[in-house]
Amino acid sequence: MKYSFKNDYSEGAHPQILKALTDTNFQQQGGYGLDDYSLNAERLILEKIKNPISKVHFVSGGTQANLIVISAFLRPHESVVSASTGHIFTNESGAIEATGHKVHGVETEDGKLRPENIQKVIDVHQNKPHQVKQKMVYISNSTEIGTIYCKKELQELYHYCQERDLILFMDGARLGHALTAETNDLTMEDLAKYTDAFYLGGTKNGALIGEAIVINNENLQEEFGFHLKQKGAMLAKGRILGVQFQELLKDNLYFDLADHANKQAMKIKKAFRDKGCDFLSETFTNQIFPILSQSQIEKLSENFDFYVWKKIDDEKAAIRLITSWATNDDVVDYFAKEIAGI
């Protein structure tokens, strides 16, 4: 059996989470999010973002979070701007369009949107009402290619959006990894200040399932529960989302797990760097994209699973390696040795 670096959801949940589910198992609780654990988990999030007026809703996965947030916030004639690498643009089987909204995909070098990218889309959509109206900006942090937004970048985006009456929404499927990257300067508080809404991903950071949608903008909070129900996202046993996020957030587990994943990735990155490899992009989160020759890829493939991400030329390709909370030292050491030997 090869060890897989294909993604950060190859294992179940962190043992503390399973234990918490077991410990609370026989407590009778209200259904559909009206359980004590969900309420407590919401409170913990509000404390961490230091914003008592935000509202928190737990859903089971990222595509679900994206489609509900976007369809709840937009009117029928409004569209959303995304990087062309954005999950909603390319990896959700048309989920956003299925709710009736156009997604504009913008080419970027590093998976990150900047005001000028968005402005270009708006500039070519001035023939109202014949062209769709841009109303939301969707960003991912960390991005689908492992990069992260720094504080200044997020502030600039938010101010740009504020001036143009655009909603700024951050997909945080790997938000823990972004916030614990060694190059990061964003805080949880910043997310409450500089986005209208974001979500805190659990699935890729040690939970069985679960993303915590945080709506900061009060105008967007109203009647959100209807949208959760209508899209099939309201779990009868919402408690299992509450219990997990309570466990992840009551101390620092959420960030410890992401930090662990990042550190393992950085060790692997160093091993490739020591070997003289280049990278498709410079990342400091749990995704790395070393460029290898075909023979090197074949050699590594003998004992490890990963995606070949992008062909560089006839000889070389970038591979994608993802680490997680479950990637232990032994496997990293073993992998580093293999790398040294290619």
Count the neighbouring beta carbons within 10 Å of the beta carbon of residue 6: 15
CB of 36 to a copy of itself, least distance (A): 11
Shorter beta-carbon distance to a copy of itself: residue 132 or 336: 132
Kindly state the tokens that stand for 29.
Answer: 């609780």
Q: Do the beta carbons of residue 289 and residue 309 sit within 8 Å?
A: yes
Kindly state the tokens that stand for 121.
Answer: 């889309």
CB of 13 to a copy of itself, least distance (A): 7
Shorter beta-carbon distance to a copy of itself: residue 98 or 150: 98
Q: Could you write out the three-class secondary structure of 77-95?
A: CEEEEEECCCHHHHCCCCH
Give 10's contacts (C-beta < 8 A, 6+ positions apart).
4, 324, 326
Shorter beta-carbon distance to a copy of itself: residue 12 or 341: 12
Shorter beta-carbon distance to a copy of itself: residue 116 or 276: 116
Strand partners, 96: none
As a whole number of angstroms, the distance between CA 49 and CA 52 comes to 8
- Whole-number Cα distances in Å, 171 to 23, 149, 176, 199, 267: 31, 12, 11, 6, 26
Q: Do the beta carbons of residue 195 and residue 168 sit within 8 Å?
A: yes
Shorter beta-carbon distance to a copy of itself: residue 13 or 192: 13
CB of 336 to a copy of itself, least distance (A): 19
CB of 140 to a copy of itself, least distance (A): 15
CB of 95 to a copy of itself, least distance (A): 5
As a whole number of angstroms, the distance between CA 234 and CA 71 comes to 16
CB of 243 to a copy of itself, least distance (A): 8
Shorter beta-carbon distance to a copy of itself: residue 153 or 202: 202
